[in-house]
Amino acid sequence: MPKATYKEAGVDLETYRESMRRIPQLAQRTFCPRVRDLPGGFAGLFRLDFDSQLFARNYESPVLVSCTDGVGTKLKVAQLVGRHDTVGIDLVAMCVNDAICCGAEPLFFLDYLAMSHDEPDLVEQLIEGVSQGCLQSDCALVGGETAIMPDLYRPGDYDMAGFCVGVAEQRSIIDGSAIAPGDVVLGLASSGLHSNGFSLVRRIVFDLAGMGIADHVDELGDTVGNLLLEPTFIYVRPVRRVLGHYKVKNVVHGIAHITGGGLAENIERVLPKQTQIRIENNSWETPPIFPWLQRLGSVDDEEMRRVFNMGIGMALIVSPYFADSVARMLTEQGVRCWRIGQVEPGDGKVIWPS
């Protein structure tokens, strides 16, 4: 009777060690002076403040902010295309964009990767994307986990989850309670589909339209694969710069990350019950990928609004006295934004024009 081995059962420890050998340099390039080195340790270490007085935050009442998310079925597109260095950016974005909604500075990030068999080249591509996302958000990649589960995943399949921890001063937390009638809603441009609605996207493009990932979409000027893999925009730096410039809470009253559920559902999460927001029709530029998908799948307007961001990846609800200067500051940082609505008395809903 042959001896059973871990490799024969589907887990090759030598290949696993090769994957782990490639990851440290991708993580270390995201480190800041607050990361403490722990070679061979079982956890990541991070100082809440700097040792240096020159850069010290001098927190008075710090509150830790935690977020977690995944990439969803956009991973299936990456697997079809055979390109895996962008979905890690999506993973980071889905977490740090949530953290910034309450005014937090993202501190550190951890990832969880599950797959059928260890593939060092694949792991390196995935973590390259995570590392790039952390660099874009000034967030340290302090650790992670790779789980090899041959009985749960088919060869070539994988899943990713991310975890972000940030910090905010208690007095500066943005929770939407300051939102009042007259406030202006600024919509920040998305980079496209971001990471939501891909079950519907895949249904439309691959099943109903019968397209392949290499097909060229003339009206959009690129291949299906490239269009669908466009990474989620990370808003941390521009929004933090706005919040750092206007340190008082009477400027930015609420922030909503526009993910699954669209503008209405996500903005309503931060609205006080005695207010509502009236969205102005045609007040921003909708990326052409959305009307293309709508025509391709004969999707009605309400379903499009409910599933996709429709070109607005984040919404800032700001004092009307500062709306122009906030918009100008965002534009100067390369983030297109528009006045897309206004707060008025109501019942906690977002109202679309008929």
Backbone Cα Rg of the chain: 22
- The predicted model scores a pTM of 0.94
For residue 213, is pLDDT > 90?
yes
pLDDT of residue 97: 98
Average pLDDT over residues 87-95: 98
- pLDDT at residue 353, rounded to an integer: 80
**CB burial class (10 A; 0-12, 13-18, 19+) of residue 17?**
exposed
pLDDT at 8: 72
Domain boundaries, given as residue ranges, for the chain: 13-172, 184-351
pLDDT of residue 57: 87
Percent above pLDDT 70 for the chain: 99
The reported pLDDT for the residue numbered 133 is 98
What CA–CA distances, in Å, run from 209 to 75, 116, 126, 205, 303? 20, 30, 29, 5, 18
Tens digits of residue pLDDT in 14-60: 777 777 787 888 888 999 889 988 777 788 899 999 888 878 889 99
Q: Write down the pLDDT at residue 1.
A: 65
Chain segment 284-337, per-residue pLDDT in tens: 999 999 999 999 999 999 999 999 999 999 999 999 999 999 999 999 999 999
Q: Which CATH architecture is the domain 13-172 placed in?
A: 2-Layer Sandwich (3.30)
pLDDT of residue 11: 77
The pLDDT assigned to 248 comes to: 65
Alpha-helical (H) ranges within 210-269 are: 224-228, 236-245, 262-268
- Please give the torsion angle defined by the CA atoms of residues 6, 9, 14 and 18, in that order, rounded to the nearest 10 degrees: -130
Can you spell out the DSSP letters for 33-71?
A: TTEEP-TT-SS-EE-SS-SSTTT----SSEEEEEEEEE-
How many Cβ atoms from other residues are within 10 Å of residue 302's Cβ? 11
Superfamily of domain 184-351 in CATH is PurM-like C-terminal domain (3.90.650.10)
Distance CA 255, CA 176 (A): 7
